[in-house]
Amino acid sequence: MALKLSIGGLLPFTTIDFPGKLAAVVFLRGCNLRCSYCHNPELVNSVQSNVANDRQPILDWNTVVQFLKKRQGLLDGVVFSGGEPTISSSLLEAVFEVRGMGFDVAIHTNGCFPDKLRALLAKDLLSYVAMDIKAPFNGYSRVTSMGEGISVRDSVRMVIDADLPHEFRTTVHPALLDDEAVLELAEELAALRVKRFVLQPFNSGKTLVSGLENPVVPFLRNSTMKRLKSAFPSFSVRGDQTRLYRE
């Protein structure tokens, strides 16, 4: 029996979402957060609202499996992203099936469901975790519909304790996170022994909340960036770093 997964899209090939691997990305629908800057608002709801058409066909899990079978020996891995993939009650079974086809598995998650992550880690099913950290753990309401990120902190600790290759990343808009908030978050992550931290400057366009405009750039102090670089073994800015700071 085919698994019931609400699939929002399938990227056939990527070299950037699973470091060191040639991979496909499966986007699962549904997210527990409502981040102001979310650039995939069509994936927030778990049910697809549009009807199938030639441009946006409705995907089911069997279609994804058939695609992956044709890519055995060509791709190294599969990324489960979203939305928030750990919302799905069938994620564990889907990962099992993908691993059974010989693929490594990565997950992109917001970390809000540590029990789901624990189940995947306990069975040694994951080879890589990328986690979006929205704000300092006690200040998630700055960005999301969630008051605190205590469960996220538990997930971060779990990934570090598992000694998995990882990336923790934060999108920055000065109306949501100022220098002090970014530094507070960095201190929390460094204390948890995070090895790789990435900042992503906000880019305007399709977002969940309208009216979040592109800020005047650069919007982080150079002194902030120097402290961030010294806090982690690996720190970088994804995209145009001049939007965050200028050396």
| Residues 191-231 pLDDT 10s | 999 999 999 988 777 777 666 777 777 889 999 999 999 99
| Residues 5-27 pLDDT 10s | 999 999 999 999 999 999 999 99
pTM: 0.91
User: Which H, E and C letters describe 86-104, residue by residue?
Assistant: HHCCCHHHHHHHHHHCCCE
| Residues 91-109 pLDDT 10s | 999 999 999 999 999 999 9
Band (pLDDT 50/70/90 cuts) for residue 60 is: very high
Rounded distance between C-alpha atoms, residue 111 and residue 91, angstroms: 14
In three-state secondary structure terms, 150 is helix
